[in-house]
Structure 1
Amino acid sequence: MRADEATLARRTALPLSGAWREFWRHPSPWLIGATLLTAVVARLLTGEWRLGDALLPLGMLAVFPFVEWVVHVCVLHWRPRSIAGLRLDPLLARKHREHHADPRDVPLVFIPWQVLLWLLPALLAVAALAFPRLGLGLTFFVTISAIGLGYEWTHYLVHSDYRPRTRLYRAVWRNHRLHHYKNEHYWFTVTTAGTADRVLRTYPDPGSVPTSPTAKNLHQSAGSNAAGSAQ
């Protein structure tokens, strides 16, 4: 981790404005951003505000670190397997393995646009069908879209050359960098400074954890990883 921080320090710092411009050069922020804008307009036109419209976003924000942890562990780190002769290896898992192999490849930082093409309509269906009134469903949709855009921005920024300047962002930056460059079996949260990791016991003292030889080659054994590096 120290070597990674030293490398970052030697690079020319990327200004936040430059990071913001680069962020919008990729399809995922546009897809989520357009969805968020549409959802906000629809929610404002619907009206019928109630207490639940204030409580629901607060509840979603409270549980999101744990949702993020579960998705990271169970979906993104999915180990390819065959069931009844059918190989199960979702696009999200494949792209995430590529992301670990090259954490500085910017397009791999974002949620694949192919996934968003079905995920966003699926979330809209949940908003329309799973709530007792349309207004509350749209509140859910606005909140989940905003969380998604915030996730994409935070994840991109952590992997960019923008240097941490605040204590909170440095904690988030360090947590995710440990996951990529120290050991892929810990530090699964991305947008928070290890909130769910602390509760779920995947936030060890970095000094007590060995540097993993497979952090850039998920699901490979240390021996096969070493052999592949020697070739």
Structure 2
Amino acid sequence: MSTDHATAPAKTRRKRPTITTLRAAFIEFWRHPSPWMIAVPLVGAAATRLALGDWQWTDALVVAVLLAVSPLVEWLIHVGILHWRPRQLGGITIDWVLPRDHRRHHRDPRDIPLIFIPWPVLVGLLPVLTVLGLFAFPRLALGMTFLLTVTAFLMFYEWTHYLIHTDYKPRHRPYRAVYRNHRFHHFKNEHYWYTVTSSGTADRLLGTYPDPTQVTTSKTAKNLHGST
């Protein structure tokens, strides 16, 4: 899900590293623009929130609500935006960077830059989140709690999604569950297992968490919508 090389010829792309350890994964992770872009408002929100103090119960409420809705938001974005099917309107194809890059990501799940949120999307999204944090809440401290939580989740999403697509093998049960689900989405059937950072949450609620042994292997998991 990135655009830092989406149109570059294959021969000009950097050789793909073999990543089998967390150390190697961490080093490679910070070679891409998305984590750095998210880190700026994340660190800024954390420093500002600590400096402001003024901790109240509503801060815990904002965190709890955001964490509770995050699997549903993740599911809706994955289904409604990333799996958007290009449409024709008056002879014009309606399509845009996120679904285009996501189709490339399905074609080649090991292409590391395509794993990340495209930087042009973050250029628009992060300022909007920052403005919301500054002006949409009755207390600045509460707004910074919001911004800190959202950017921390974005970083967690980027790291989890990236790590799943490396050669690092899961060692702990929670990570094994999300690893297994996302691999099913890519290599079993693209119509199920839409959440990335959790397993059996929004997918179970919305009917996309089947028994994998009862699901037919899709012929279009690497070619979304049969578009190529």
TM over 0.5: yes
Q: Letter of the aligned partner of 1:33 in structure 2?
A: A
Partner of 1:163: 169
Looking at structure 2, the residues matched to 177 and 129 of structure 1 have their Cα atoms a distance apart, in angstroms, of: 40
Q: Letter of the aligned partner of 2:93 in structure 1?
A: R
Partner of 1:146: 152
Looking at structure 2, the residues matched to 119 and 87 of structure 1 have their Cα atoms a distance apart, in angstroms, of: 24
Partner of 2:38: 32
Looking at structure 2, the residues matched to 45 and 88 of structure 1 have their Cα atoms a distance apart, in angstroms, of: 46
Partner of 2:208: 202
Question: Do the aligned residues in 2 keep the contact of 1:13 with 1:163 (CA within 8 Å)?
Answer: no
Q: Letter of the aligned partner of 2:160 in structure 1?
A: T
Partner of 2:55: 49
Alignment of 1:59 with 2:65, yes or no, is yes
Q: Letter of the aligned partner of 2:113 in structure 1?
A: P
Gaps spanning 5+ residues in structure 2: where?
Answer: 1-17
Looking at structure 2, the residues matched to 84 and 150 of structure 1 have their Cα atoms a distance apart, in angstroms, of: 40
Which of residues 111, 120, 137 in structure 2 aligns to 1:131?
A: 137
Question: Do the aligned residues in 2 keep the contact of 1:188 with 1:194 (CA within 8 Å)?
Answer: no
> CA deviation digits over 1:6-39, x for unaligned, max 9?
xxxxxx8711111111111111011111220011
Task: Identify which range, 39-48 or 83-92, moves more after superposition.
Answer: 83-92
Residues 168-183 of structure 1 aligned to structure 2 (within 5 Å): 168-183=174-189
SS at match of 2:113: helix
Q: Letter of the aligned partner of 1:147 in structure 2?
A: F
Task: Identify which range, 38-47 or 64-73, moves more after superposition.
Answer: 38-47
Residues 185-196 of structure 1 aligned to structure 2 (within 5 Å): 185-196=191-202
Q: Letter of the aligned partner of 1:196 in structure 2?
A: A
Question: Do the aligned residues in 2 keep the contact of 1:109 with 1:155 (CA within 8 Å)?
Answer: yes
Looking at structure 1, the residues matched to 138 and 77 of structure 2 have their Cα atoms a distance apart, in angstroms, of: 27
The two structures, once aligned, show a CA RMSD in angstroms of: 1.5
Which of residues 193, 218, 221 in structure 2 aligns to 1:212?
A: 218
Q: Letter of the aligned partner of 1:93 in structure 2?
A: P
Cα deviation for residue 194 of structure 1 reads 2.6
Cα deviation for residue 88 of structure 1 reads 2.1
Task: Identify which range, 197-206 or 121-130, moves more after superposition.
Answer: 121-130
- Higher-helix-fraction structure: 1
Alignment of 1:115 with 2:131, yes or no, is no
Partner of 1:229: none
Number of equivalences: 211
Cα deviation for residue 129 of structure 1 reads 2.9
TM-score scaled by length of structure 1: 0.87
TM-score scaled by length of structure 2: 0.88
Looking at structure 1, the residues matched to 82 and 156 of structure 2 have their Cα atoms a distance apart, in angstroms, of: 18
Per the alignment, do residues 130 and 208 of structure 1 end up closer, same or farther by CA in structure 2, a change over 3 Å counting?
same
Question: Do the aligned residues in 2 keep the contact of 1:97 with 1:217 (CA within 8 Å)?
Answer: yes
Question: Do the aligned residues in 2 keep the contact of 1:77 with 1:96 (CA within 8 Å)?
Answer: yes
